[in-house]
Structure 1
Amino acid sequence: MRPINEAHVAEPGLAVVEVAAHDDQTALAVQEPLATVCAIASDERTTREPCEPGVRLRCFLELHQTPGKVSS
């Protein structure tokens, strides 16, 4: 995965969540409850790291915004 950009965590209320899961379905399911409590820039696909088990997924959260409205 790419390094986390400083802008993604530059102020209180911003967070990056990295998910490691057995399969795509499980990793993508983790986004659903996050999206009900905060604004989230979700991903539509997972990544696989060479020589590591499972899949990875990264979500960007804005805790101070309402769900479904992520600022640019």
Structure 2
Amino acid sequence: MPGMEPINALHVSEPGLLVVEVAAADDETALAFQDAVAARWATATADRTTHEPGQPGVRLRFYLDLRQEIGTEQPGAGPPGSQLG
């Protein structure tokens, strides 16, 4: 699978929006980290990791909105094009 796509300016267009890229030894570890973050903040999660041949481990990218903690209601929060808003 080819490398990750470039970060789009819309993903970080406002303070509090983050693109999180994780490098981990395996799928289980990367997805567990994503789940832990998603339990606290509004997160557009990834379904799978990527692996580049010849490189160790796996990578995962997801989008996070620090402005909206889980349990709060802020309509429209989240990166443009995400399922958060």
What's the TM-score, normalizing by structure 2?
A: 0.76
Check whether the contact 1:40–1:67 (CA below 8 A) recurs between aligned residues.
no
Match of 1:65 in 2: 68
Query: How far apart are the structure 1 equivalents of 2:26 and 2:57?
Result: 6
Match of 1:28 in 2: 31
Query: How far apart are the structure 2 equivalents of 1:41 and 1:67?
Result: 13
Query: How far apart are the structure 1 equivalents of 2:54 and 2:9?
Result: 27
Deviations 1:35-62 (A, max 9, x none): 1221000011000012211100001001
Q: Which has the higher helix share?
A: 1
Q: Percent identity?
A: 58
Match of 1:10 in 2: 13
- Unpaired segments ≥5 residues, structure 2: 72-82
Instruction: Return the letter of the residue paired with 2:84.
Output: V
Local SS of the residue matching 1:47:
coil
Match of 1:44 in 2: 47
Q: CA RMSD in A?
A: 1.6
- Unpaired segments ≥5 residues, structure 1: none
What's the TM-score, normalizing by structure 1?
A: 0.88
Query: How far apart are the structure 1 equivalents of 2:19 and 2:70?
Result: 16
